[in-house]
Amino acid sequence: MNVTVRLFATFREGRGKELSLEMAEDATPAIVAERLGIGVKDIAILLVNGRDGKVDGSLAEGDRVSFFPPVGGG
């Protein structure tokens, strides 16, 4: 299946803003992150189709997955 990935802030470094990935049918957001070399622990916000998603949730053809790193400075 094809999944669109949107990356934010430092996750764009060396990867770009938006990627289209061909993934296996049982792929999860965690597997997508791993493919991109992003550690699940480094993800602060995870959206699937614009809504709060789960790292081990299922994905479907055409889904949009967004990863945000933690921004925590004051």
Interacting stretch for another protein, rule CB under 8 A, among 24-32, 42-50, 57-65? 42-50
Binding to another protein by residue 58, rule CB under 8 A? no
Q: Are strands 2-7 and 64-68 parallel, antiparallel or unpaired?
A: parallel
| CA distance linking residue 72 with residue 5, whole number of Å | 23
- Provide the minimum distance between the beta carbon of 31 and another protein in the complex, in angstroms, as a whole number: 17
Residue 30: in which H helix or E strand, if any? helix 29-35
> Which residue do the tokens 């959206």 mark?
47
| CA distance linking residue 7 with residue 32, whole number of Å | 12
Binding to another protein by residue 15, rule CB under 8 A? no
- Provide the minimum distance between the beta carbon of 52 and another protein in the complex, in angstroms, as a whole number: 5
For another protein, the binding residues (CB under 8 A) are 8-10, 12, 17, 40-47, 50-52, 66, 68-74
